[in-house]
Amino acid sequence: MAAEKGHRRRRPIITLITDFGEGYYVAAMKGVILDICQDACIVDITHDIRSHDVLEGAFTLLCTYPYFPPKSVHVAVVDPGVGSERRGIIVATDDHYFVGPDNGVFSFVFNREQVRKVISIESQLYQRGTVSPTFHGRDVFSPVAAWLALGTQLEKFGQEIEDYAGATVLPVQKVEENRLEGMVIHVDKFGNIITSISRDNASQLLGNEGTPKFFLNGHEITHHYSFYAEASPGEVFTLLGSSGYYEIAAHKKRAADILGVERGEKVQLELVTE
Amino acid sequence: MAAEKGHRRRRPIITLITDFGEGYYVAAMKGVILDICQDACIVDITHDIRSHDVLEGAFTLLCTYPYFPPKSVHVAVVDPGVGSERRGIIVATDDHYFVGPDNGVFSFVFNREQVRKVISIESQLYQRGTVSPTFHGRDVFSPVAAWLALGTQLEKFGQEIEDYAGATVLPVQKVEENRLEGMVIHVDKFGNIITSISRDNASQLLGNEGTPKFFLNGHEITHHYSFYAEASPGEVFTLLGSSGYYEIAAHKKRAADILGVERGEKVQLELVTE
Amino acid sequence: MAAEKGHRRRRPIITLITDFGEGYYVAAMKGVILDICQDACIVDITHDIRSHDVLEGAFTLLCTYPYFPPKSVHVAVVDPGVGSERRGIIVATDDHYFVGPDNGVFSFVFNREQVRKVISIESQLYQRGTVSPTFHGRDVFSPVAAWLALGTQLEKFGQEIEDYAGATVLPVQKVEENRLEGMVIHVDKFGNIITSISRDNASQLLGNEGTPKFFLNGHEITHHYSFYAEASPGEVFTLLGSSGYYEIAAHKKRAADILGVERGEKVQLELVTE
């Protein structure tokens, strides 16, 4: 059993979020990773982030990285500025590593985690020999993630920096004494409407009294349930979703279609006291 | 070689079928699984089951689990009743484990396999600390699958039950002396129309004499080939598909479009004797 | 450390390209592979090749296999002739193995790589017991790939052949003294238009003097940048893409939509000298 204790490392996990869509770009990234770190367990989070939508990438990362084991490496490439002067960075928190462009895609992570170090990716030793100015996902971020997963020390990749794109919160603001305004941050495959308003937001900004009432696209939603099947078929209601954000749903129907709502729409929450 | 024999376990395989679509729900499940069972080989069967379509999930499972090695754990989460009183179950057959809601998604398995034991998932030890009432895929079924893949004994998860949703066969019935009625159970990416009628069905219910003639949406299909390229381009014909079900196809064309057929459509088979 | 050196083999990698779409066909292939080669690292390149489009499969393979480690096994199943007399083959180059139908899907590989041996798949030992005439992906190519990944000698699978579908180049021809004609070989998720014309083509056939000007669908594109963010938002321009082919793009917009172009469209390149 000594061997087990002494030599057994955790299997390196590398997760991928991109806006590349399905196809050969992502496959090339995986080839590069496996060529360096053959034991890597590569997990696709999604490659269907809307093209260039850094906010959607950041939100998807926020909803997924916490479930992965310590020392996982999370690569997030939503990178409209690829090839320009924008830097590539590695973010080390107590439990995770993050690799991607310094364009805000890690801003929600900065807001939630204790950041241990942010490194600007500079050393060419850990990049591919020729770096395409249009595909740092393959030529910079994938090899860096693979070397990181192999245990390469942070300092080897480049200098520590402090002036990276900082922490931001999901878009939520208090617009009236008892009213918050947020946005529709995601519409899932079921047509459930996920808002940027979390229960924590609501209680910090509005307190805990009153019953929640949601307003979006001219509709008022007052019924609140804790799971989908509690509602009657087709009934629109609110729910505290599995990632901690309020969502608007309809039992076995697409709430987004019923209410005519897309990602980006404004949504308001009021706590109504009698 | 003793080491090989003595210590080498098969690599744990966990397959996933859901109606969650592509995105962060599935990724969270994978994170949870890998956090418990770091060696798991996770295989996505599909996440594009139509929302809430338990029958489609059950059919997809039927067409895939037999190809996986013994002791694979198959997770099937098509679960409109999540959060309600419907139970979560583990099904153990001689060769496989199945994990998911007790809502019929395993009914075709019950019909084909010798069931060794069905366990109601009760122990909270093998679930996440906080269970969201809307996401048992992540908080119940994923950790249970991971612990099962690690070799946890069935009895630890809960009590054996007998009153689970039982065996069903694919929808096929004899409607006339020499005629069966089934349904279109799937339309694949090529536009091939997969029916619920298997060769076994046909021979059990109609015997083996006569030539098969199919009827659907006002069309009669009489040509029968054994592979696609046997037909002329565009010709519509029937075929015994690779999963054992009759299908209606068109060489290099989409039969579903030509015949105007979608999943759910009724289909009849007659064995015509001169 | 002797154990490391002596026994450690590279982890077997098997990549998959098919036109099967998402769903249970691909999953069955993976089950078959894992049942034979439990340590296989299976990488999906894509399953969204247009149905029966051998050229698209061949191009996708060309853009991905070079990034994978030596000894990877690349399975490419775009196979409209499945079940007919067309052969299945294994191609061995110095660094890679390729498995699939002998229908041209490896023609670009033949053009780029030194081919060591091409084997006609004959032995039924390495196929599934029953081979469906419509699904060689599952019953022939997957088990062959798995046995190959396990180290089975080439000769065991069948005879060496010389009369396989040979090398071809991507469709590019010189149509005037200083003008090439190629085609749109791919439109990616961003709407970038990837052409079949590489920089190597252009310099071999037209020389290196002059500035490149592209013509397609009645449009002339003269601006050339090296990365996307160099252009003004919406500006259409050309770029040397990350796979070595010229592409036509628009910063943060879909060039394919702006120019009304789909895969297959003709495209011309002229080198203009003053």
Can you say how many angstroms the Cα of residue A180 is from the centroid of all Cα atoms in its chain? 22
Kindly report, residue by residue over C133-160, the tens digit of the pLDDT: 999 999 999 999 999 999 999 999 999 9
Domain count, chain A: 2
Return the SS3 of C8. coil
- C-alpha distances (whole Å) from B268 to each of B122, B178, B197, B259, B263 are 44, 10, 9, 14, 14
- What separation, in Å, do the N-terminal and C-terminal C-alpha atoms of chain B show? 64
- The answer to whether residues C146 and C263 belong to one domain is no
Q: For residue A81, which residues of chain C lie inside 8 Å, CB to CB?
A: 229
pLDDT higher than 80, residue B1: no
pLDDT value for C22: 83
- Please check whether residue C185 is in contact with residue C194, taking contact to mean a CB–CB distance below 8 angstroms: yes
- The answer to whether residues B196 and B92 belong to one domain is no
Q: What is the C-alpha separation between C213 and B48, in angstroms, rounded?
A: 43
**pLDDT, mean of residues C183-189:** 95
Q: Whole-number mean pLDDT of chain B?
A: 92
* Closest CA–CA distance from residue B224 to any residue of chain A (Å): 35
Q: Hey, how many other C-beta atoms are within 10 angstroms of the C-beta on B202?
A: 20
Phi-psi domain of A153 (left: phi exceeds 0; alpha: psi -120 through 50; beta: other): beta
- Please check whether residue A113 is in contact with residue A84, taking contact to mean a CB–CB distance below 8 angstroms: no
**pLDDT, mean of residues B99-106:** 97
- The answer to whether residues A146 and A208 belong to one domain is no
- Please check whether residue A168 is in contact with residue A54, taking contact to mean a CB–CB distance below 8 angstroms: no
Domain boundary among A126, A156, A186: A156
pLDDT value for C147: 98
pLDDT value for C233: 85
- Please check whether residue B57 is in contact with residue A202, taking contact to mean a CB–CB distance below 8 angstroms: no
In a domain, C242, yes or no: yes
Q: What is the C-alpha separation between A269 and A173, in angstroms, rounded?
A: 10
- The answer to whether residues A19 and A83 belong to one domain is yes
Domain boundary among A156, A183, A199: A156
- Chain A positions contacting chain B at CB under 8 Å are 10-11, 13, 15, 41, 43-46, 48, 60, 63-69, 72, 188-191, 226-230, 239, 241-243, 251-252
The residue behind tokens 């997957």 is C142
- The answer to whether residues A143 and A184 belong to one domain is no
**pLDDT, mean of residues B167-175:** 90
- The answer to whether residues B87 and B182 belong to one domain is no
**Under an 8 A CB cutoff, do A67 and B135 touch?**
no
**pLDDT, mean of residues A36-44:** 96
Work out whether the CA dihedral A131, A136, A142, A144 comes out positive or negative.
positive
pLDDT value for A87: 96
Q: What is the C-alpha separation between A110 and A120, in angstroms, rounded?
A: 16
Which token pair is C131? 């081979």
Residues 6+ apart with CB under 8 A from B85: none
Bridge partners, C120 (sequence order): C89
pLDDT higher than 70, residue C10: yes
Kindly report, residue by residue over C160-182, the tens digit of the pLDDT: 999 999 888 889 999 998 899 99
Return the SS3 of B231. coil
pLDDT higher than 50, residue C7: no
pLDDT value for B4: 36
pLDDT value for B211: 84
The burial class, CB within 10 Å (0-12 / 13-18 / 19+), for C8 is exposed
Phi-psi domain of B253 (left: phi exceeds 0; alpha: psi -120 through 50; beta: other): beta
List, as one string, the DSSP characters of C63-117: TTGGGSPTT-EEEEE--TTTTSSPPEEEEEESS-EEEEESSSTTHHHHHHS-EEE
Q: For residue A42, which residues of chain C lie inside 8 Å, CB to CB?
A: 43
- The domain that holds C189 is classified in CATH as 2.40.30.90
Which token pair is C189? 């998720």
Q: Round the CA-based radius of gyration of chain B to a whole number and report it.
A: 21
Name the pLDDT band for A9 (thresholds 50, 70, 90): low
Q: Whole-number mean pLDDT of chain C?
A: 92
Which token pair is A173? 């603001």
- The domain that holds C93 is classified in CATH as 3.40.50.10790
Q: What is the C-alpha separation between B53 and B22, in angstroms, rounded?
A: 16
Domain boundary among C104, C131, C156: C156
Return the SS3 of B193. strand
Residues 6+ apart with CB under 8 A from B220: B213, B214
Q: What is the C-alpha separation between B122 and A203, in angstroms, rounded?
A: 33
Q: Round the CA-based radius of gyration of chain A to a whole number and report it.
A: 21
Which among B64, B189, B190 has CB closest to C27? B64
Q: For residue A191, which residues of chain B lie inside 8 Å, CB to CB?
A: 51
The burial class, CB within 10 Å (0-12 / 13-18 / 19+), for A200 is exposed
**Under an 8 A CB cutoff, do C38 and B63 touch?**
no
In a domain, B191, yes or no: yes
Which among B19, B23, B84 has CB closest to A227? B84
Residue of C nearest to A22 (CA): C46
Which token pair is C260? 């009304």
Q: Give me the percent of chain C exceeding a pLDDT of 70.
A: 96
pLDDT value for A7: 40
**Under an 8 A CB cutoff, do A64 and B19 touch?**
no
Residue of C nearest to A28 (CA): C64
pLDDT higher than 70, residue B208: yes
In a domain, C121, yes or no: yes
**Under an 8 A CB cutoff, do C35 and B242 touch?**
no
User: Which residue type sits at A219?
Assistant: H
- C-alpha distances (whole Å) from C190 to each of A21, A79, A85, C198, C224 are 8, 12, 21, 20, 18
- Please check whether residue A77 is in contact with residue A56, taking contact to mean a CB–CB distance below 8 angstroms: no
- The answer to whether residues C264 and C227 belong to one domain is yes
Q: Give me the percent of chain A exceeding a pLDDT of 70.
A: 96
Residue of C nearest to A85 (CA): C229
Name the pLDDT band for C273 (thresholds 50, 70, 90): confident
pLDDT higher than 70, residue B100: yes
pLDDT value for B233: 85
pLDDT value for C8: 47
- Please check whether residue B16 is in contact with residue B26, taking contact to mean a CB–CB distance below 8 angstroms: yes
Can you say how many angstroms the Cα of residue B201 is from the centroid of all Cα atoms in its chain? 18
pTM > 0.90: yes or no: yes
Q: What is the C-alpha separation between A135 and B25, in angstroms, rounded?
A: 27
- The answer to whether residues C34 and C141 belong to one domain is yes
Kindly report, residue by residue over A85-130, the tens digit of the pLDDT: 899 999 999 999 999 999 999 999 999 999 999 999 999 999 999 9
**Under an 8 A CB cutoff, do B133 and A69 touch?**
no
**Under an 8 A CB cutoff, do A134 and C242 touch?**
yes
Name the pLDDT band for A207 (thresholds 50, 70, 90): confident
Q: Whole-number mean pLDDT of chain A?
A: 92
| Enclosing domain of residue A210 | 173-272
- Please check whether residue C150 is in contact with residue C161, taking contact to mean a CB–CB distance below 8 angstroms: no
Which token pair is B198? 């298997």
Which token pair is C77? 């199943």
- The answer to whether residues B19 and B152 belong to one domain is yes
Q: What is the C-alpha separation between C179 and C213, in angstroms, rounded?
A: 9
In a domain, B2, yes or no: no
Q: Hey, how many other C-beta atoms are within 10 angstroms of the C-beta on C106?
A: 31
Return the SS3 of C23. coil
pLDDT value for C9: 63
- C-alpha distances (whole Å) from B78 to each of A166, B48, B219 are 39, 10, 33
Q: What is the C-alpha separation between B231 and B224, in angstroms, rounded?
A: 9
- Chain A positions contacting chain C at CB under 8 Å are 19-25, 27-28, 30-32, 34-35, 38-39, 42, 51-52, 80-84, 132-135, 138-139
In a domain, A6, yes or no: no
In a domain, C167, yes or no: no
Q: What is the C-alpha separation between B154 and B117, in angstroms, rounded?
A: 9
**Nearest C-alpha neighbor of A262 from the set A172, A181, A186, A180:** A186
- The answer to whether residues B59 and B148 belong to one domain is yes
Q: Give me the percent of chain B exceeding a pLDDT of 90.
A: 79
Q: What is the C-alpha separation between B28 and B138, in angstroms, rounded?
A: 6
pLDDT value for A216: 96
- The answer to whether residues A46 and A111 belong to one domain is yes
pLDDT value for C272: 85
List, as one string, the DSSP characters of B135-157: -HIIIIIHHHHHHHHTT--GGGG
- The answer to whether residues B151 and B177 belong to one domain is no
Kindly report, residue by residue over C68-90, the tens digit of the pLDDT: 999 999 999 999 988 888 999 99
Q: For residue C66, which residues of chain A lie inside 8 Å, CB to CB?
A: 31
pLDDT higher than 60, residue A3: no
Which token pair is B162? 């007998």
In a domain, C162, yes or no: no
The residue behind tokens 């247009």 is C50
pLDDT value for A201: 87
**pLDDT, mean of residues B63-89:** 94
Interface test with B, best of A64, A237, A248 (most B CBs within 10 A): A64
What stretch of H or E contains A190?
none
Which token pair is C124? 């039924």
Name the pLDDT band for B6 (thresholds 50, 70, 90): very low
Work out whether the CA dihedral A180, A182, A186, A187 comes out positive or negative.
positive
According to DSSP, residue A135 is labeled -
Q: Between helices C24-36 and C142-149, what is the axis angle to 10°?
A: 30
